[in-house]
Amino acid sequence: MEQSDKAVILQLHSLKMKMEPGTYFWCACGRSNKQPFCDGSHRGTAFRPEKVVIEKPQHVAWCMCRHSKKGAFCDNKHRELPGYLKKEDR
């Protein structure tokens, strides 16, 4: 697998943000400088941004490890990845 085919793990926890209604494009590759949103840095890779439509103001836990089975939304999969430290171990 080439380096460009691997998502970049930015952090081993979610990024929680209050989001307003609108259409967003979540960065699936982890290379964007506008995290958690796409800036086109995926060009030349197999990755494509994920379109997310927010219907009403809400708090969102964005996935930053790029391993969530829920795509853009954190499912705590980061807790199973090497290097994750439980709160009591920090």
The pTM of this model reads: 0.88
- Whether 87 shows a pLDDT value over 90: the answer reads no
Residue 14 within a domain: yes
Q: Report the relative pairing of strands 22-26 and 15-19 from DSSP bridges.
A: unpaired
Residue 63 within a domain: yes
Residues of the domain holding 24: 1-83
Residue 17 is given by DSSP the state E
Cβ atoms of 8 and 33 closer than 8 Å: no
In this predicted model, what pLDDT tens digit does every residue of 13-72 receive, in sequence order?
999 999 999 999 999 999 999 999 999 999 999 999 999 999 999 999 999 999 999 999
Amino acid 59: pLDDT: 98
- Residue 57: CB atoms within 10 Å: 9
Instruction: Report the number of distinct structural domains present in the chain.
Output: 1
As a whole number of angstroms, the distance between CA 15 and CA 32 comes to: 14
